[in-house]
Amino acid sequence: MTKGRNKVALLDCVECFQNTLDNLHKSLGVLRKLSFRDFNSQMEDVTTWLSAALTDEDTCSDGFNGQEGKVVEILLNRVSNVTYMTSNALALVNKLATTGPEALQKD
């Protein structure tokens, strides 16, 4: 892969992670203010945003397909770590969503 292509892939990756951060912040904001009345639509929004974050992370990784080198290896390892955490967050949100708004009720 040429240096020019590396630069383009890296710039794309930066944009993807800006989108990822936006989606994670939106998700966190909604999760902090869950309401019984709006629970289902809130869960749909958070699920959509976390799924979009995963897509952006995959897009970042795809830009470096076929490339080798220490820097690429480090970058892809870090992207993989973020993807793992985002995937776990999505799994937890899906579990919460299946529990339903009753999960918000206090004993």
Cα separation, 55 vs 45, whole angstroms: 15
**Closest alpha carbon to 55 in 24, 20, 28, 84:** 20
Q: pTM score, two decimals?
A: 0.89
Please report, for the chain, the start and end positions of each structural domain, with discontinuous segments joined by +. Answer: 3-98
CA–CA dist 66, 93 (Å, integer) = 34
pLDDT of residue 1: 44
CA dist 86 and 92 (Å) reads: 10
pLDDT at res. 107: 54
* Comparison of pLDDT for 104 and 48, the residue scoring more: 48
Query: Whole-angstrom Cα distance, residue 16 to residue 89?
Result: 18
The answer to whether 42 touches 85, Cβ cutoff 8 Å, is no
Q: What is the mean pLDDT of residues 71-88?
A: 95
**Closest of 43, 50, 76, 82 to residue 61, by C-alpha:** 76
Tens-place pLDDT, residues 34-48: 999 999 999 999 999
Could you tell me if 60 and 79 are in contact, meaning their C-beta atoms sit under 8 angstroms apart?
Answer: yes
